[in-house]
Amino acid sequence: MRRFRSDNRGRRRAGRDDRSGPQSERKNKRGFADKSSFAQREERPQTEAELRAVEKLLAGIGVPEPKPFEPDEFQKLALEAIEHHDVLVTAPTGSGKTWIAREEIRRLLAQGKRAWYTTPLKALTNSKYTEFGLEFGPENVGILTGDRKENTEAPLIVGTTEIYRNQIFDAMRQGDAVRTDFVIIDEAHYLADEDRGHVWEETIILTPPRIRLLLLSATVGKADEFARWIEEVRGTKVVIAHAVGRPVELRAAYLSDNLQLYPLFDERGDFNRRVDDLTPRRRRFDR
C-alpha cells in the first residue's frame, strides 16, 4: 500500500510538472482546425444568361417617383363602412391596411374620442407607438405593454392585445365602461394561434358592441366565415374589405458563397436548378 501511494503521488507530481512552465505550453498547444467539412466547389463566372436574369431580378428596385396619393377601392370601402360597422380588412403586406386605421384615428381624435391599437408583438407595438407619435403628436399617443407604460391617459393607446383584453376584464369586474370608442386589431389572424388565440377570441367577444372593431390581416383564411362568426358573437354587421395582388412585388434570390447572385426561380416560375449546384454539401466523415 505504501508503495502504491508513493507511485500515485509521483504520477500526480509528474502530471503537475507536465502542465506547468513554458515547455509544457509549447508541448500542449492546440493545432490548426481541420479543413471545412463542406465539399470544395470550383467557382466559375456567371454566364451571360445568368447575368441577364440578375439584371431582370434587380430591375425597378429603388425609390419610385412621387405621385399624388389615391386610395384603393378596398381602402375607400373600409373607411366608409367603419363609421357604422365592424370591418375586416384582408390585404397583402404593403397594400395600405394601416392607412385605413390612421385615417379613422385622425377623424376620432378631431371629435375628441378615443382609440386603441392592438398588436401581438412588443416590437410592433413600439414601432406603431413611434409612428403614431410622429403622426398625431406625442401628447396624443400612449403605450401599454408588459415592459412600458407611458402617457396612459392619451386618447390613442398602442398596446399588446393581452393588455387590452385585461382592461376589458378590469372594466367588467369594476362595472366600468371600457375607455375607448374604436379598437384596431392588427394581425387578426392570431385568432388561430394554438397558444395565444384565445386572447383574440376573448377580445372580440367581450368588446362591447358600441365599440367598433377594425381587424387587419394579410394572411387570414376563410374571411367570410370569420366575419360571420364575429357577427354572431357581437351582434354587429361586419364588412369585408379585400384586396387582391401585392403592390410590392416579392423577388427571391440566392447569394452564393463567392457573392454571386442567382434568381431562386427561372422564367417559367420553376426552381432554379443552378442553385442546387451552388449549395454546400457536407462530406461524409470517415469512421
pLDDT tens, position by position, 199-208 = 999 999 999 9
Which domains occur in the chain, in start order?
73-242 (3.40.50.300), 251-287 (no CATH)
User: Is 60 a residue whose pLDDT tops 50?
Assistant: yes
Higher-confidence position of 142 and 1: 142
**Phi, psi values for residue 59, rounded to 5°:** -60, 135
Mean pLDDT of 7-15: 49
Stretch 18-34: mean pLDDT, rounded? 56
Confidence (pTM):
0.74
Confidence band (pLDDT; 50, 70, 90) for 82?
Answer: very high
Query: Which of 116, 107, 109, 73 has its CA nearest to residue 203?
Result: 116
Tell me the pLDDT tens digit for each residue of 107-117: 999 999 999 99
Residue 102, classified by CB atoms within 10 Å of its CB into exposed (0-12), middle (13-18) or buried (19+), is middle
Q: What does the block give as the cell for 19?
A: 502542465
Judge contact between 214 and 87, C-beta under 8 A. Answer: yes
pLDDT averaged over every residue in the chain: 85
Three-class HEC string of the chain: CHHHHHHHHHHHHHHHHHHCHHHHHHHCCCCCCCCCCECCCCCCCCCHHHHHHHHHHHCCCCCCCCCCCCCCHHHHHHHHHCCCCEEEEECCCCCCHHHHHHHHHHHHHHCCCCEEEEECCHHHHHHHHHHHHHHHCHHHEEEECCCCEECCCCCEEEEEHHHHHHHHHHHHHHCCCCCCCEEEECCHHHHHCCCCHHHHHHHHHHCCCCCEEEEEECCCCCHHHHHHHHHHHHCCCEEEEECCCCCCCCCCEEECCCCCEEECECCCCCECCHHHHHCCCECCCCC
Q: pLDDT category, 88, cuts 50, 70, 90?
A: very high
Percent of the chain with pLDDT over 70: 82
Most distant pair of Cα atoms in the chain: their distance: 98
Residue 217: which of 193, 251, 252 has the closest Cα? 193
Could you tell me the three cell numbers for 236? 354587429
